[in-house]
Chains A and B, each alone.
Chain A
Amino acid sequence: MPQSSREIVTRCLKFDCPERIPRDLWLLPWAEIHEPETVRLLRKEFSSDFATSDYFYPPSKRVKGDPYKAGQFTDEWGCVFRNIQDGIIGEVRDPIIKDISDWKSVTPPYEQLPESTSAAYDKIKRFYDSTDKFVMSNCCPRPWERYQFLRGTESALMDVMIPDEGFKDLIGAIHDFYLKEMEFWAKSEVDALLFMDDWGSQNQLLIHPDIWREQFKPLYREYCDLAHAEGKFVFMHSDGYITDIFEDLIEIGVDAINSQLFCMDIAELGRRFKGRITFWGEIDRQHVLPSPDPEVGRKAVHQVIRHLYDPSGGLIAQFEFGPGAKPDTALAVTREWLSQGYGIDADGTD
């Protein structure tokens, strides 16, 4: 009997020999707007093994506008985004905490969390029971990104250097809220919890690894402990060059990491970390997917397989079809994954 999507992903995460490489496809609203036919083909050919729970928090009164529409959007924390392109999210241009000493004026959106969890859990369970896919929580804590939204990126990067001047207070307030969110989802019927923060620039960490370990690793460790205590897997997304913290992510218990593999030395990642964490994609969004040459996409798939695949698991065929990606190359990537997805010998050539 063929393994279900849920079983395939679970076996992959446990290094327990899934019958094929699990698949995951990310589609930004941009893709639906600009490339509907490609989206249709991608969905048809590259059916994802993942689903996100359909439970949403009640709408916040603070939210105004649509995050994916050009114009202005206010989120549930009161951060105001400016967007000039439909289909992607915008940028905070005017952070609400101008002076870090005003950190207490931040009110995390606790009102969104369900007062009575039983109805919410029933809905989440109904969804879980209705699918054989691997179900992710519908929340994504991002303490560092939230801090930047509230303070602005430049101020945030300087605050982290003088943590006793307010940084610890504000990041603590943010983290407390996210812990509540994680607690709610950890007790629900989902397979995995997700969190994210972009930690890399193109070729190094945004901040010194020691500062990351001191200020942020403990937060993520708490998310992982909380999820694991309830038997959930932990997935993390982090853009940029993050080789220097891979070992830490493994240590705190991240089960799967979505990162920009192609910003890093993929062979080195394979040598050091294969078999110890699951690589949740990806295929390069900066050069490979925007290339008009589908062969570039096929070679990228081979490169990932060659360095990161192991028959026992630890690799998910994931990529994002978003702004700049070329339809033919994206389709070539999916078809290459499909043709390589079963019984791969890991000697694929670059």
Chain B
Amino acid sequence: MNNLLTQIAFCIEKGKADLNSPYPPVLKGENGASELTKEAIDSGISADQILKQGLMPGMNRIGERFSKGEAFIPDLLMSARAMNAAMEHLQPHFDSGDIQHRGTLILGTVAGDLHEIGKNVVRMVLEGDGWKVLDLGVDVTVERFSETLRDNPDSIIGMSALLTTTMGTMEQSVNQIKQQSPQTQIYVGGAPLTQEFSDKIGADGFFPDPHSFAKHLAAQT
């Protein structure tokens, strides 16, 4: 693999966003994902190659370590920050159609629930894996999920809940969307949830960490 791409992947895995970023301390004063991505584009490497051989391997590696318990949420957040810094240079290529997203994920925390750290981590990991994520935020009503699905009919949906009281809301939301659009895949996540609950409410799956979710989706595309 091109050395620049290897370095981009390394910076993303380690959370080195740009030259000025003090994190990680061992890379202080060195170029980060932002500068290296720009350099890669300037040297003629295609945006698609940068995404698939630079950004995605970096996020995959940190996600893998997280799912094994070897990395922690702050590590993921630092990697996501580095990925966003790189993504700024790739965005025009997404806009122009040079590179395509794997697909679109509509994401939100269900109505009655204001928690979002878990949802945000899922967003970051999936964006790093090439997905376009429409993050609807927290306290999202089923109507908002449905409206967004109407505007983006081929999307899949990710719903999050942290409170046991909002698991009921999640069930209603899944039922309503499945009635309107049976083919739409809906995945659920959140601390109190289980695969058993996902099966019970008719969702298409539960994933205990963002990386296993990303792997599942990647296998389907």
Contacts and interface: CB of A to CB of B under 8 A. Distances in A.
Contact of A207 (B24, B74, B120, B191): B74
Contacts of A203: 69, 208
A239 B145 CA distance: 31
A285 B81 CA distance: 34
Contact of A157 (B69, B77, B112, B191): B77
Contacts of B22: 162, 164-165
Contacts of B81: 158
Contacts of B112: 84-85
Interface string B117-135: 1001000000000000000
B139 interface: yes
B71 to A, nearest CB: 8
B114 A154 contact: no
Contacts of B115: 91
Nearest to B191: A202
Q: Interface size bucket, A side?
A: 20 to 34
B162 to A, nearest CB: 10
Q: Interface size bucket, B side?
A: 20 to 34
Interface in A110-158: 153-154, 157-158
A91 to B, nearest CB: 4
Main DSSP-derived SS at the A contact region: loop
Contacts of B163: 323-324
Contact of A324 (B15, B24, B72, B164): B164
Contacts of B139: 84
B153 to A, nearest CB: 30
Contacts, number: 66
A245 to B, nearest CB: 13
Interface in B152-197: 163-165, 167, 191-192, 194
Contact of A162 (B23, B72, B164, B194): B23
Nearest to B192: A286
A154 B77 CA distance: 8
B218 interface: no
A158 B69 contact: no
B78 interface: yes
A91 B138 CA distance: 11
Contact of B114 (A93, A211, A286): A93
Contacts of B114: 82, 84, 90-91, 93
A208 B72 contact: yes
Nearest to B121: A154
A164 to B, nearest CB: 8
A26 B120 CA distance: 31
Given A206-B72, A323-B164, 13 more contacts: A84-B112, A84-B114, A90-B114, A91-B115, A154-B77, A161-B15, A161-B23, A161-B75, A162-B23, A201-B73, A286-B191, A290-B164, A324-B163
18 contacts: A82-B114, A84-B112, A91-B114, A93-B114, A157-B74, A158-B77, A158-B78, A161-B24, A161-B74, A164-B22, A165-B22, A203-B69, A204-B72, A207-B73, A208-B75, A286-B192, A287-B194, A323-B165
Enumerate the 5 nearest inter-chain pairs by beta-carbon distance, A residue then B residue, closest first: A324-B164, A286-B192, A91-B114, A323-B165, A157-B74
